[in-house]
Chains A and B, each alone.
Chain A
């Protein structure tokens, strides 16, 4: 019976390869699809499945430090061992739960601050004359091309106890002792807002550029006050830009590692940093993988919304 099964499988495999080679011969189109397809299959999907697999394995003091998922017992039966201990461990350990909640809290508040600062800037750029507009846009894109790490480093110099801001405030005579700003949640907020602001402004700008300004005039002509025009005309029309920009800030900020590590230090718990340390310092791969899967579960809904929006935009 076992042999039958293998035979059928072989036939399946054979026919698959025949079909594959036939389609390869029939058209170059298959090659165009196949090369990037198999690259992504092998270097994106398979690694992800490995993480999934290790997240349900047991930690062992060995190399590699986890138990195999498939055990070949002597009579040829494959045993699949799923251990959900890693996930229960995450759930029961307050540290991880607090870290998750804290990550979501920090990235939500940062996204809102980015929106509050980015919205008027995007609006200002759209309303400025065309030549100025191009230059302003270039100035928004420029930081995006410079090193992310160095932009975070710039704030280390500003926020340090002996840093530029403290020196300036002491020189003004506003404070006598330096304010403690580094290694706090405040520093992390500043870092995230600073580095992710262009990601908020650009989708907002792209959306506002398409706005029909005559609608504003119509609203004004009909006697609407500026605030009413804003809340009943501008805001609903720019909603797609707001959603896209917010997701572009929220998703990467939640898994951020560099900013909480350099500006937050040990005082700020964020999931990206915990994952990095769990893997590199504690060498606990199964827990690190479980942390990764849990982070992904947290982000899967915002990621799907974003892909949905992108998909709609790419349709002609």
Chain B
């Protein structure tokens, strides 16, 4: 069953990669090995514009969503009661399960209403897409930060407070460094969510602003395209390298920690 499952998950992707090296213009008909579709892909200015736009949005989104999501997670875990906590908790978890079409539609209607009321935004594009992405990806970051915070040892913060550190100092010197792995995971997730999003971006984007998924979608709607296979290959390889690297680093960290703990307990025994 495991073999069947992993075959099911990976054969389509492997075939996607194989056919990107196909000379033939018709994707499933084999015409010999070639890298010509990679050249075609990179010669297209449209593709470069879409990649740049998507990267810009993803970077801004990841940074702001991490900040907002971290604040939200902190508020929900550390402040047990404040006015509007129920509403806040509902609003932070609702984007996780809200169908994309509804999020997209509602944000577009907001931007149009705002445009009529205060004259902003005058045209939709990079700003509106970034705002929309921050809104849904901060919810994912908040979940990660929440679970990380609940697992943290609060005695370190209490110790700092007892030693006279002001709350702000405790946040900067103690809580944030402890949260760092969660923040990094949140940033990466927000980045991926943004660069992967088609539906919400399609709703809130205006003429001329095409993100990478929007460009891919407009091309594959009409059928199979070898240059899109080439694009898919590049994306899959980049992601695979990134995920393997992250996995390797995490495993190394885990091993290091176990070794440290063994050393620490060994020292204790000697001292006794």
B147 CB, min distance to chain A CBs, angstroms? 7
Which residues of chain A (88-137) have a CB below 8 Å from chain B?
117-118, 120-121, 124-125, 128, 134, 136
Q: Tell me, in angstroms, the Cα distance from A27 to B146 when the chains sit together.
A: 21
B113 touches A50 (CB 8 A): yes
Contact of A251 among B74, B99, B199, B202 (CB under 8 A): B99
Within 8 A of B (CB), among A45-63: 45-48, 50-51, 54
Question: Which of B24-32, B36-44, B157-165, B257-265 participates in binding chain A?
Answer: B24-32
Q: Determine the chain B residues whose CB is within 8 A of the CB of A288 once the complex forms.
A: 105
Contacts of B93 in A (CB 8 A): 307, 310
Residues of B within 8 A of A160 (CB): 28, 224
**Per-residue interface assignment for chain B, residues 212 to 251, with 1 indicating a CB less than 8 Å from any chain A CB and 0 otherwise:** 0100110011011000110110011001101110010001
Residues of B within 8 A of A289 (CB): 105, 109
B45-82 to A contact mask, C-beta < 8 Å, 1/0: 00000000000000000000000110110110001001
Within 8 A of B (CB), among A146-175: 146-151, 153-158, 160, 162-164, 167
A36-B92, A149-B198 known; A255-B74 Cβ under 8 A: no
Q: Which residue of B69, B101, B110, B247 is within 8 Å of A272 (Cβ)? A: B101
Rounded to whole angstroms, the CA-CA distance of A220 and B29 in the bound complex is 54
- Residues of A near B107 (CB, < 8 A) are 43, 47
Nearest CB of A to B14, in Å: 9
- Give, as a whole number of angstroms, the nearest-CB distance from B54 to chain A: 11
Chain B contact residues: over half helix, strand or loop, or mixed? helix
Which residues on the A side are within 8 Å of B92 (C-beta)?
36, 40
On chain B, the number of residues with a Cβ less than 8 Å from chain A's Cβ atoms is 84
Check B1–A120 contact: CB distance below 8 A: yes
Contact across chains for B242 and A125 when beta carbons are under 8 A apart: no
| Cross-chain contact B106 with A51 (CB below 8 angstroms) | yes
Contact (Cβ within 8 A) A145 B243:
yes
Q: How far is the CB of B129 from chain A (nearest CB, A)?
A: 13
A83 at the interface (CB under 8 A from B): no
Size range of the interface on A?
35 or more
| A153-B232, A164-B15, A255-B100 known; A43+B110 contact, CB < 8 A | yes
User: Do the beta carbons of B167 and A262 come within 8 Å of each other?
Assistant: no
Of the listed stretches A72-80, A225-233, A292-300, name the one at the interface; the rest are far from the partner chain.
A292-300
Inter-chain contact B196/A147, CB cutoff 8 Å: yes
Evaluate whether A64 and B88 lie within 8 angstroms (CB atoms) in the complex, with A51-B102, A145-B192, A154-B232 already known: no
Residues of B contacting A124 in the complex (Cβ-Cβ under 8 angstroms): 1-2, 5
Complex interface: chain B residues within 8 A of A292 (CB) = 101-102, 105-106
Bound Cα distance A32, B69 (Å):
10
Q: Which of B68, B99, B109, B199 contacts A51 (CB 8 A)?
A: B109
Chain B's closest residue to A137 (CB) is B247
Q: Does A186 contact B (CB under 8 A)?
A: no
The interface residues of chain A lying within 8 Å CB-to-CB of B269 are none
Question: In the complex the two chains form, is B109's CB within 8 Å of A285's CB?
Answer: yes
What separation, in Å, do the CA atoms of A61 and B114 have in the docked complex? 20
| Beta-carbon nearest neighbor of A118 in chain B | B5
Residue A222 CB within 8 A of the other chain: no
Q: List 6 A-B contacts (CB under 8 A).
A: A143-B9, A147-B216, A151-B12, A272-B199, A295-B101, A314-B147
Q: Which B residues are within 8 Å of any A CB, using their own CB?
A: 1-2, 5-6, 8-10, 12-13, 15-16, 19, 26-29, 68-69, 71-72, 74-75, 79, 82, 84, 88-95, 97, 99-102, 105-107, 109-110, 112-113, 116, 131-132, 134-135, 138, 142, 146-147, 150, 167-168, 192, 195-196, 198-199, 202-203, 213, 216-217, 220-221, 223-224, 228-229, 231-232, 235-236, 239-240, 242-244, 247, 251
